Structure 1
Amino acid sequence: MLPMSEKLIWRVEGMDCASCVASLTGALQKLPGVSDIEVNLMAERLTASLSTATPAEVERRVASLGFKATPLGVAAVDAPVHDHSHHDHDDPADAAKPWWATGKAKLTWLLGGLVGSAYLLSLVLPERLTYPLFLLATAVALVPFGRRAIALARSGNPFSIETLMCTAAIGAAIIGAAEEAAVVVLLFALGEMLENVAAGRARAGIRALADLMPRTALRMTAAGAIEEIPAARLQIGDLVLVRPGDRLPCDGTIEEGRSALDESPVTGESVPVARGPGDTVRAGSINAEAALKIRVTHAASDNTVARIIRMVEEATASRAPTQRFIERFSSWWTPGAMIVALLVILGAPVLLGWDWSTSLYRGLAVLLIACPCALVISVPAAMASGLSAGARRGLLVKGGAALETIGSAHAIAFDKTGTLTEGRPSVTDLIPAEGRSEHELLALAGAVEQGSGHPLAKAILAEASQRGLSLPLARGFSAVPGKEVRAVVAGKVVAIGSPRHAPVAGTLAEALDRLESAGKTVSVVLSGPAPLGLIAFRDEPRADARTGLATLSALGVRPLMLTGDNARTGAAIGASLGLDVKAELLPEDKLREIAALKAQGAVAMVGDGINDAPALAAASVGIAMGGGTDVALETADAAVLKDRVTGVAELVALSRATMANVKQNVAVAVGLKGVFLVTTLAGITGLWPAIMADTGATVLVTLNALRLLRWKPS
């Protein structure tokens, strides 16, 4: 018996639409001892927790529905299993075959040959000799489809498309319309084959991300020799040689060499970036100029590309609000349509004077229109394509719900430091109090800030290092978020904080006014209650900040800045960028501002992913930017990898393009069914156009969704 906390993972082949996912999930939910079932269509993954059930029982239940489950092991939370080498067909033997040679394709060719031959022979032979050929074509198709319909019915899904199609085909054959029954099963098989091809193309968008990683790496040994090994075998601490023109096989830090890196495959940033010793680099980037020696900082299963793939696969499994609504609607659609079909069959002869043959024929056609496949796939197909298109351009979104919300936001709030600004402030002024020196002021401030990751702390430490100062020892570090940090230095409490919470007077107050009026950020250094002096910083706005904010305004979204900095600095930067500013905000103040914005509609918050975690979580959707690869990938609901404000506007545009695609898909799915329902009841169209209303619409919405893979920001 497996522990309840342990999940197993399988690769499931043969799924090509959301109905497959629903059927598989429903069947496994009825299997005793199976829980926490998750089925991912795009990743072809099934994960489930087993208590009393065995893996073999799960695999038999999956096989009974016409799919193939291959165990991949334990689905550990921190290291999910991923296999990106597979293809998308029913039979594992199909994996190395082109789409036209797979099992579904062969069935389609066989049925096409039988129906085509019967039709050609009917031109020269009497009907009694060709009619059996149409019956044979129908019977051949009903074997696999009927077996699947029975399995689905046993697992609690009696209203599957297979059930409806088989019922209609058998009914047509009984009333003497075997020709149309044969065409119905042929079109159904053709539709399934095309759905499979389309699903394969959608999955190829995710597999293209895996292709960013080179298969091998050049690892340097302790003796200085170079050995070629699989990139997947790289371990943290390994030293790797990357030649000009090579893709980086790992996340790491440059130890030797300087070069320009093309990071566009990972971040979407089109301009090569200069990197040198000490700089962090990302797997999948292309080394453009000179050889680099890179120290590996993340294992292969946890590098940037692997995490992006994992994120996209998990995101495609999540459901947007629109998708959940469509699924609820479709659960009523099919039974409702079947009731209509029954009313047509039983009521039309009495109420409208139809003969029983006509009412049965048209009722069977309504049955075929009843399947909601196209409607159900309309949303996840578009969402999967949108998520994949964004990931390939450095725009990561953790699921359909976040992607849908971003485009509907009426306002987007930005943090200042590291988001609208470069996040690399530098010390511009040191104003010691009377009787103090600049060196003493800087040394005490540096002692308190040792080990801090805050941008202002880094600026203080960098200035102290540049001046060659020796920092005194400090202990008892503590912090009050948004107010101050403090430590004990040489027996005295030294604090660094905001001027709002550390009042100054006299010449220091005059200097504070002058510095803040110049748009600088100022910190006060105190020893007990006595001020030791002021330290001023300048952090320049990002080069694209004004353009990005103007683009958001053009999209009808209100940008504003929420910052803990002083009002004058905030106003100066806000005026230069052309946006509203709320300044001098503590973390709890930011939460109140976000709550007030949410009362008016959806709101997004953009921050560095470190200091803005509460505000990011409180917003309708949180977007991380500028906080580094690790933070950007793990925090918030979305991340802009290329650290550009224009990326936020691109996220909004991607969301709106995706939702427009969803609306088009729903219109096609519902519109086609509505048209064919009317024409069927009017006697204008028959059985084979009815099946086209389902399979044809499914293929159309899937192909329309695939257009999103070519999306590019304008």
Structure 2
Amino acid sequence: MDKAVEAPEPAQDGDCCGCGHDRAPDAGEARAPAGHTRWTVEGMDCASCAATIERALAGLPGVSDIRVSVANGTMALALDETLTDDATVGKTVSALGYRATRLGETERAVETGEGGEAGRRWWRMPKARHALFGGMLVAAAFAADTLLPELGRWAFLVAILVVAWPVARRAVTAARLGSPFTIEMLMTVAVIGAVVIGETAEAAVVVFLFAVGEVLEGLAAAKARSGLKALGALIPRTALVEEDGGLREVAAADLRIGQTVAVRAGERVPADGTVLDGLSNVDEAAITGESVPVTKEPGARAFAGSVNHEASLRVRVDRAPEDTTIARIVTLVEEAQEAKAPTERFIDSFSRYYMPAVVAAALLVAVLPPLLGYGGWQDWAYRGLALLLIGCPCALVISVPAAIASGLSSAARHGMLVKGGAVMEMLAKAETVAFDKTGTLTRGEPAVTDIVARDGDGARVLALAAALEAESSHPLAKAICERADAEEAPRPVAEAVRTVAGKGVAGRVGGRDVFVGAPRFALEAGEMDEALRETARTLEADGKTVAIVMEAGVAQGVIGLRDEPRADAADGIAALGRAGIDAVMLTGDNARTAQAIAGELGLKARAEMLPEAKVEAVRELAAGRTVVMVGDGVNDAPALASASVGIAMGSGTDVAMEAADAGLMRSAVLDVARLIGLACTTMRTIRQNVAIALGLKAVFLVTTVIGATGLWVAVLADTGATVLVTLNAMRLLMALKPATARRRQDAMPPEGAPEPA
């Protein structure tokens, strides 16, 4: 059967200037393997930075498998310290104009806003100070040129030298280390060329605009990382540990499994654990996406990073700090942002050929027309230099990773974890969604749905049944007792309670024999009138489990139970249907129950399926279509792995979460439609970004060749396009909206749609 397992476990887990599938690649492809060192890198703004660093480090002996992530500001590499040490790696990265710091084994790469680039005001950043100083020098040069024209050229040369020197140094270093085609090199060549042809004033403006552009790109990149940094900031820094009858403040990172921590009202829970004492409402929105605070009482699970609202709680730590739910979410998002989507890989590959082609085209523009007699050398040399700057593909290459990173961060903020950009791309192509039933479309545990009494006294029938079932651990018994407690039904004392193997439970209540069991066995214990028999048949036809309550040999009533659909299941299926996405239920349950649930929710059903049958069904559905499988149990893992994209419910098992490509932390069916909608919006944003990048370049390419625009406009075009595509991508960090691509505009539920329970 496809029964849910109870423990809710979360998922474990460039070259912008130079350089039809069946299943999305696993997130593990981007994961730094054991034995790799991990570093934070400050100063990276775009994919060109990553490509330059990768090429430079690849030339060092003992350095291999380099993985640089602009989205996270990190890099991982395999390092043979007998050939190259940490200091050499750091110096090499520093020579390129960045700052690399090695992380310890348990240190996180996520900045929390109290250090590094995230903790500085923009005007305190080195690039910003350099741009401000450069601006003053250029302004002074213009003033000198106006007041003392004979000194103007020299003033501009001084400004150029000061502002362009760091750029030129990085260009030469990158070229020496294997990256000759970088924006720094193009800028250096363009400025030198402008000085040679006598355009010193414009050269000064160009280098100043370039410096300003670097600041803007840095700010945009930092903002794009804000979603992940916000997650990292949720992890508390300190905790109050109970020791020797008192409380002692310790670093949260030093907590050990088995310790007891006190969480006062208004504080964040410092570690994952079990509540030992106290009753309070806790806000888990940052971890599960659940908008309503959850009541925590003894025995309940508490997650690190959640906020305790009302009263103090005592929590026993049961996970190490590096293995808490929020830490694992951050790790998953980091790894997912490092995994390149197919579109991103194509753009990266394209840029390696594009850049040399731009240099060749600029050279032809500068040389060919004057050779053929169409103008002077200086004029065409100027246009060729401008073309060098226009051709830089910064905006084109950053357009994809910026959108993917923002989409992944937005999903994580809403309790939807996606293992990489490749999964996002595949989700946007979804045509069929296959659901498991128990624990996915339904709650995963039975509940009492109907109570029909022979004499109309349903409360007495429920009380009799609860009296016998009170000591049983059977799920049906638990459901009956929970319903009795909810209705505050009287609980008479039962005596001589015994289980009748395979049939039900019997005992004595108030001196009278009572039996609770299935209809076919109830007749063995006494009589049942035709009205109750018909009621039992009707409930069974609706896919419900029926229990007959017998007293003194006479049927007193019928209780119907069923694993009911989740509150948002029907809305979630309807949202998929409005988007033109087919939905089907694959379940190991019996056909009658499956059809009843499927009919209520409005989707097709295939019942009585073993795990291998589910795999075959997914493969059959996937013939020529993109299939998403949603499940939660161990038996769903093979089907999740076989689908184009596997989505695991957060209430499911670790096995299901590991096999899946995405996870829904709050186990909401509506979130399937929301996630597909977000994926479609992400892909639409990518298309918009590519159009912006290529469109602006096409326009200014023409205006540059015909001489309508010059060097400084070329710099503005490149920098402006990069900032525009980054800002456009950052819109995905906003709250999820019902806006998606192609036919998916209805895949997202309307603004007034109910939130999942």
TM-score (norm 1): 0.83
1:88–1:200: 8 Å Cα contact kept in structure 2?
no
Structure 1 residue 203: Cα displacement: 2.2
1:5–1:49: 8 Å Cα contact kept in structure 2?
no
Secondary structure of 2:190 counterpart: helix
Give the match for residue 679 of structure 1.
703
> Cα RMSD over matched residues?
3.4
- Which of 100, 108, 127 matches 1:69? 100
Secondary structure of 2:340 counterpart: coil
TM-score (norm 2): 0.78
Equivalence map 1:481-560=2 (5 Å): 516-520=540-544, 538-560=562-584
2-structure distance, mates of 1:674, 1:263:
48
Classify 1:456/1:384 alpha carbon distance in 2 versus 1 (closer, same or farther; 3 Å): farther
Give the match for residue 237 of structure 1.
258
**1:323 is matched by which residue type in structure 2?**
E
Secondary structure of 1:695 counterpart: helix
Structure 1 residue 420: Cα displacement: 0.5
- Which of 67, 88, 98 matches 2:121? 98
State whether structure 2 residue 419 is matched by structure 1 residue 392.
no
Classify 1:541/1:222 alpha carbon distance in 2 versus 1 (closer, same or farther; 3 Å): farther
**2:712 is matched by which residue type in structure 1?**
W
**2:54 is matched by which residue type in structure 1?**
T
1-structure distance, mates of 2:114, 2:148:
44
2-structure distance, mates of 1:10, 1:119:
43
Equivalence map 1:30-179=2 (5 Å): 30-51=59-80, 52-74=83-105, 81-82=108-109, 84-85=111-112, 97-126=120-149, 128-179=150-201
2-structure distance, mates of 1:16, 1:143:
19
1-structure distance, mates of 2:232, 2:354:
39
Structure 1 residue 250: Cα displacement: 1.6
2:145–2:155: 8 Å Cα contact kept in structure 1?
no
2-structure distance, mates of 1:564, 1:352:
80
Secondary structure of 1:642 counterpart: coil
**1:62 is matched by which residue type in structure 2?**
V
Structure 1 gaps of 5+ residues are 430-437, 450-454, 473-503, 524-534
Classify 1:614/1:330 alpha carbon distance in 2 versus 1 (closer, same or farther; 3 Å): same
Secondary structure of 1:261 counterpart: strand
State whether structure 2 residue 597 is matched by structure 1 residue 573.
yes
Structure 2 gaps of 5+ residues are 1-32, 451-464, 484-490, 500-519, 525-533, 548-558, 738-750, 752-757
Structure 1 residue 125: Cα displacement: 3.6
1-structure distance, mates of 2:69, 2:301:
33
Q: What is the CA deviation profile of residues 509-557 of structure 1, one whole-angstrom value per residue up to 9, with x for unaligned ones? A: x99987752313699xxxxxxxxxxx99621100111111111222232
Deviating more after overlay: 551-560 vs 162-171? 551-560
Structure 1 residue 115: Cα displacement: 1.6
Give the match for residue 367 of structure 1.
388
Give the match for residue 19 of structure 2.
none
Classify 1:96/1:573 alpha carbon distance in 2 versus 1 (closer, same or farther; 3 Å): closer
**1:154 is matched by which residue type in structure 2?**
R
Structure 1 residue 340: Cα displacement: 1.1
Structure 1 residue 100: Cα displacement: 0.8
Classify 1:415/1:629 alpha carbon distance in 2 versus 1 (closer, same or farther; 3 Å): closer
2-structure distance, mates of 1:607, 1:564:
12
1-structure distance, mates of 2:317, 2:176:
52
Secondary structure of 2:225 counterpart: helix
1:187–1:691: 8 Å Cα contact kept in structure 2?
yes
Structure 1 residue 54: Cα displacement: 2.2
State whether structure 2 residue 238 is matched by structure 1 residue 211.
no
**1:664 is matched by which residue type in structure 2?**
Q
**1:316 is matched by which residue type in structure 2?**
Q
Classify 1:83/1:377 alpha carbon distance in 2 versus 1 (closer, same or farther; 3 Å): closer
2:112–2:230: 8 Å Cα contact kept in structure 1?
no
1:591–1:614: 8 Å Cα contact kept in structure 2?
yes
Higher relative contact order structure (alpha carbons within 8 Å, sequence separation ≥ 6): 2
1-structure distance, mates of 2:577, 2:118:
48
Q: What is the CA deviation profile of residues 188-236 of structure 1, one whole-angstrom value per residue up to 9, with x for unaligned ones? A: 111111111112222222111122233322222363x233322222221
Q: What is the CA deviation profile of residues 478-497 of structure 1, one whole-angstrom value per residue up to 9, with x for unaligned ones? A: xxxxxxxxxxxxxxxxxxxx
**Count of paired positions:** 640
Give the match for residue 215 of structure 2.
193
1-structure distance, mates of 2:114, 2:376:
50
**1:54 is matched by which residue type in structure 2?**
D
State whether structure 2 residue 49 is matched by structure 1 residue 20.
yes
Q: What is the CA deviation profile of residues 18-70 of structure 1, one whole-angstrom value per residue up to 9, with x for unaligned ones? A: 11111111211222211121212233222211223322222222122111222
Identity of aligned residues (%): 51
2-structure distance, mates of 1:522, 1:328:
63
Q: What is the CA deviation profile of residues 634-689 of structure 1, one whole-angstrom value per residue up to 9, with x for unaligned ones? A: 44111111111111111112112211221121111111111110100111101111
**2:97 is matched by which residue type in structure 1?**
G
State whether structure 2 residue 284 is matched by structure 1 residue 259.
no
2-structure distance, mates of 1:514, 1:28:
72
Q: What is the CA deviation profile of residues 255-301 of structure 1, one whole-angstrom value per residue up to 9, with x for unaligned ones? A: 22333222212222112223322222222222233332222111111
State whether structure 2 residue 357 is matched by structure 1 residue 336.
yes
2-structure distance, mates of 1:469, 1:38:
68
Classify 1:569/1:407 alpha carbon distance in 2 versus 1 (closer, same or farther; 3 Å): same
